[in-house]
Amino acid sequence: MNSDIKEILYSQEQIQRVCQELGAKLTNDYQDKKPLVICVLKGAVMFMADIVRKIDTYIELDFMDVSSYGNEMESSGSVKIIKDLDVSVKGRDVLIVEDIIDTGRTLACLASLLKHRQAKSVKICTLLDKPDRREKTISPDYVGFQVPNEFVVGYGLDYQGFYRNLPYVGILKPAVYEKN
Ligand code: 5GP
Ligand code: MG
Ligand code: MG
């Protein structure tokens, strides 16, 4: 599986350092707010698990699974809810945890849904940001790394369901998806 990776962009150590830094910021910003932290399944699972353990205040966790009717390489923007939240967001400070923001379609849709449901505030924490491809004016409040315009996998991010278990984020060799 490692031989399908062209280049490692962010090592396990770099990711842990960024989680530590963002966790410290979030601890400060969400002191006394008891936010609801929402993990967008499945890509954000690793990031969620690591970052919440660096947040040292009261937080509640919930999970949402959305499908964006895209192909394997990009989203389409019309988001369908596969698994909704268990907890109501009404009046809550909400923090969405995502793996990557690309065109911004998925998060634009999700953020407006949560605002429509009367969340008190909606902020976005993403491990990766690919600003070159942005179509929606959505800017994440907390960003781990800005990535170049390449298709990346690992640390939760998949290609056709695989590679999520790689402990680092890397660029997939184009030969892997060109043969499909
Ligand atoms: P957006 O709606 O912002 O265009 O797309 C966000 C979703 O598209 C991500 O949650 C992810 O599922 C997928 N995506 C976008 N870029 C990449 C990438 O480089 N690698 C992987 N594995 N998924 C991506
Ligand atoms: Mg995602
Ligand atoms: Mg995917």
Domain region containing 56: 12-147
In a domain, 1, yes or no: no
Q: Cβ(129) to ligand 1 under 6 A?
A: no
Q: Cβ(152) to ligand 1 under 6 A?
A: yes
Q: What is the pLDDT of residues 80-109, one digit of tens each?
A: 899 999 999 999 999 999 999 999 999 999
- Give the total number of structural domains in the chain: 1
- The two three-digit tokens of residue 78, written as one number: 């019309």
For a ligand 1 pocket test, name from 10, 40, 69, 75 the mutation site with the most ligand atoms within 8 angstroms of its C-beta: 75
Is it the case that residue 71 has pLDDT exceeding 90? Answer: no
In a domain, 122, yes or no: yes
In a domain, 177, yes or no: no
Q: What is the pLDDT of residues 118-159, one digit of tens each?
A: 999 999 999 999 999 898 889 999 999 999 999 999 999 999
CB-side neighbour CA atoms (13 Å) of 72: 14
In a domain, 127, yes or no: yes
pLDDT at 25: 98
Q: Cβ(176) to ligand 1 under 6 A?
A: no
In a domain, 81, yes or no: yes
Going by C-alpha positions, the residue among 116, 157, 106 that lies closest to residue 136 is 106
CA dist list (Å): 132 to 103, 104, 148: 8, 11, 8
Distance, CA 29 to ligand 1 centroid (Å)? 27
Distance, CA 87 to ligand 3 centroid (Å)? 25
The mean pLDDT of the chain is 94
CA-based max dimension of the chain: 52
In a domain, 163, yes or no: no
Please give the sequence-ordered ranges of beta strands (E in DSSP) within the chain, or none if there are none.
5-10, 36-41, 60-67, 80-83, 93-101, 121-129, 142-146, 152-153, 169-172
Nearest atom in ligand 1 to 151's CA = 19
How do strand 169-172 and strand 152-153 relate by DSSP bridges?
antiparallel
Going by C-alpha positions, the residue among 148, 152, 145, 155 that lies closest to residue 173 is 152
CATH number of the domain at 56, please: 3.40.50.2020
| Distance separating alpha carbons of residues 40 and 15, to the nearest angstrom | 18
CA angle 27, 31, 36 (to 5 degrees): 85
In a domain, 121, yes or no: yes
In a domain, 169, yes or no: no
Neighbours of 1 (CB within 10 A): 10
Q: What does the pLDDT average to over 67-82?
A: 73
Going by C-alpha positions, the residue among 8, 162, 5, 175 that lies closest to residue 72 is 162
